[in-house]
Amino acid sequence: MKTVRSADLLPGMVLAEPLKDLAGRTLLKEGAELSESYIERIRKWGFEDVAVQGGVDEPQPLPPVVGYQVEGRSWEEVQAEIELRFSRSVDSYLMMKLKKAVLARVRKLVELHAGR
Amino acid sequence: MSRMRELIGRIRNLPTLPVVIAKLTRLLADPETSVKRVTRLLAEDQALTAKLLKLANSAYYGFAGQVASVSQAVVMLGFGGVRDVALSASVIDLFGSGGEGDELSELFPVDRFWEHSIGVGVACRALARSLRWPDPEEAFVAGLLHDIGKLIMLQHTPGDLLRVLRLCHDEGLTFVDAEARCDVSHAALGRLLVEQWKLPERISEPVGFHHQVRPKRATARVTAAVQFADAFARGRGVGRSGDDFIPRVQPEVAEMPGIDDLDMDVYIERFDEEMRKASVFLELAGGLQGEGEPG
């Protein structure tokens, strides 16, 4: 068993202990394999670190980032850059659809790189 | 005489492509062409052959490490594929990586320009593939070359380029709007260049009209794809081509089947993956530093 910060969780890791809320209700059982959506939820619930099974393996290196620089930047900073890029395209439905997808994608990348 | 025509008149000695590319294009137009003839032709330009093989072996084309000779490259990429790869390598090579330290390179860093151009090429190819167009590599070349006119400005009329860039920077204009104020057009200049290179209309039309698609042209589909891919690459934050904004996307482009109903989340993921594989082109733009490994 090892303790991993929520920001460093990776899909495929397995919980070594159940995750419980303040009332003691089980949110995720021991042995649950973490998917991306589970990891997102764990972060949303506010857990700082989580016990997972296994030794002291290093997490896999992240693939190189495409597009907006996310390393060492806060979400607010990156978001402001994206907002500026799209600021001349607010009347295009297609570009607003793209903006939504870009915000979601980049936010995920910022979170993935936070704390690395 | 309009300012643009005066400008075109002033530009002499447009950069030329390696002789081999022109010969290759002619050779490929001939239905009798054989692998042997293409191989013999490329043997005339060893530097180009080396780049061709480097690209063909990169993750981008998916034959990592398997392409040992030109004849194998022809078998795996096809005649058209070989020409497109050789053309891409030559064009990136032709313009080099630019200077540094002055205002012009500050406002228009050439390495970021290539990153943007490669991004547009990758986005075009991804779109062409998902729509099952017959020639996704050609869509890549159209995207790669779409802003080539900006490099002509950089080389031949740097004063004009600087005025446009300052307008973008100081007044928050898009590059196209700033150009309109200065009565210059990178699209028209780019078209002039690729026409002189005798590239087919499927390349010259998108280069010349990616900001104003001419819907009745047979090549309107690729031109529309380039317009969308340009907007996409900017929205995704890939590279920089003089300004920080997304130029206008025409409603008829946005409404095109295949673009209108694109699943953006899936498309972004595919693009990111392909863009990482295309890093080999960025290496070329950076001046072929080191050998790099295939794959």
pLDDT tens-digit map of B186-196: 999 999 999 98
Could you tell me the CATH number of the domain that includes residue B252? 1.10.3210.10
Residue B160 near residue B183 (C-beta atoms within 8 A): no
Q: Which residues in chain B touch residue A67, judged by CB atoms under 8 angstroms apart?
A: 236-238, 272, 275
Query: What distance in Å separates residue A81's CA from the closest CA in chain B?
Result: 9
B130 and B196 share one domain: yes
Total domains in the fold of chain B: 2
Total domains in the fold of chain A: 2
B249 and B157 share one domain: yes
Q: How far apart are CA A16 and CA B105, in angstroms?
A: 54
Q: How far apart are CA B151 and CA B96, in angstroms?
A: 10
Q: How far apart are CA B178 and CA B65, in angstroms?
A: 45
B67 and B198 share one domain: no
Q: Which residues in chain A touch residue B234, judged by CB atoms under 8 angstroms apart?
A: 85
B128 and B247 share one domain: yes
Q: Percentage of chain A with pLDDT > 70? A: 93
Residue B8 maps to a domain: no
Report CA A107 to chain centroid distance, whole Å. Answer: 8
Mean pLDDT of chain B: 88
Stretch B45-58: mean pLDDT, rounded?
88
Tell me what pLDDT residue B30 has. Answer: 85
For A104, nearest residue in chain B (alpha carbons): B265
Alpha-helical regions (H) of A10-92: 36-45, 75-85
Residue B230 near residue B120 (C-beta atoms within 8 A): yes
Could you tell me the CATH number of the domain that includes residue A36? 3.90.105.10
Task: Give the domain-ending residue among B57, B77, B95.
Answer: B95
Residue B209 maps to a domain: yes
Tell me what pLDDT residue B294 has. Answer: 38
Q: B80-97: per-residue pLDDT in tens?
A: 888 888 999 888 888 766
B143 and B255 share one domain: yes
Model confidence at A7, pLDDT cuts 50, 70, 90, reads: confident
Positions of E strands within chain A: 2-5, 19-20, 26-28, 49-52
Backbone conformation region of residue B44, classed left if phi is above 0, alpha if psi is from -120 to 50, else beta: alpha
Question: Out of A23-32, A56-65, A67-76, which region has the weakest mean confidence (pLDDT)?
Answer: A56-65
B91 and B114 share one domain: no
Q: Which residues of A74-101 are buried (b: 16+ CB within 10 A; e: fewer)?
A: eeeebbeebeebbebbeebebbeebbeb
Stretch B264-279: mean pLDDT, rounded?
92
- Structural domain span for residue B83: 18-95
B252 touches chain A (CB under 8 A): no
Residue B292 maps to a domain: no
Query: What distance in Å separates residue B18's CA from the closest CA in chain A?
Result: 32
A14 and A48 share one domain: yes
Residue B12 maps to a domain: no
B295 touches chain A (CB under 8 A): no
Half-sphere exposure for A14 (CA within 13 Å, toward CB): 7
Stretch B127-150: mean pLDDT, rounded?
92
B236 touches chain A (CB under 8 A): yes
B89 and B23 share one domain: yes
Task: Give the domain-ending residue among B80, B95, B110.
Answer: B95
Is A95 within 8 Å of B237 when comparing Cβ atoms? no
Q: Which residues in chain B touch residue A94, judged by CB atoms under 8 angstroms apart?
A: 228, 249, 254, 259-260
B182 and B280 share one domain: yes
Q: B215-259: per-residue pLDDT in tens?
A: 999 999 999 999 999 999 999 999 999 999 999 999 999 999 899
